[in-house]
Amino acid sequence: MIAEKGVEEKWHLDSAAIGSWHVGNSPDQRCINKLKENNISTEHRARTVELDDFTKFDWIFGFDHDNISELTKKQKKVKKETKAKIALFGEYDPQKELIIEDPYYVGSASPWSCCFSNKGEIAGFDKCFEQCMRCCKAFLDANT
């Protein structure tokens, strides 16, 4: 998307988690498959949000209110002035779906069942991807 707009040299994109339980791992295979379907490659390994991210990045997005709360707490631990604006990524969704659900949990009978049985439905990954693409486009349209 940033390449299509000709602004890839102006942007540094990264992805990081609040929790550390998957640090060093590749994305879920269903995520990798969805990215491949859309000609998006990833060599990314999971990492956590670090304190220096708040001085390095202009924007840090969360997918739900718990993410925003955790990011805000973490930003307050930074000893120097930060430049990162923390925002709910869904605020950019033209369809007004504010919360981007973790696709790993979508379609499960209980929020914890897939932690043990890996039952997140592929439809959850499709929806997450579509929401993220809408939000990315709207964000870039507003900020480039």
| Residue 75 Cα to chain centre, angstroms | 17
Q: Are the C-beta atoms of residues 91 and 98 closer than 8 Å to each other?
A: yes
Which residues have C-beta within 8 Å of that of residue 110, sequence separation ≥ 6? Answer: none
Distance of alpha carbon 6 from alpha carbon 77, whole angstroms? 36
Residue of 93, 99, 98 lying closest to 137 (CA atoms): 93
Residue of 84, 128, 86 lying closest to 104 (CA atoms): 128
Residue 102 appears among annotated catalytic residues:
yes
From the candidates 28, 64, 102, 126, give the one annotated as an active-site residue. Answer: 102
Which residues are the active-site residues? 102
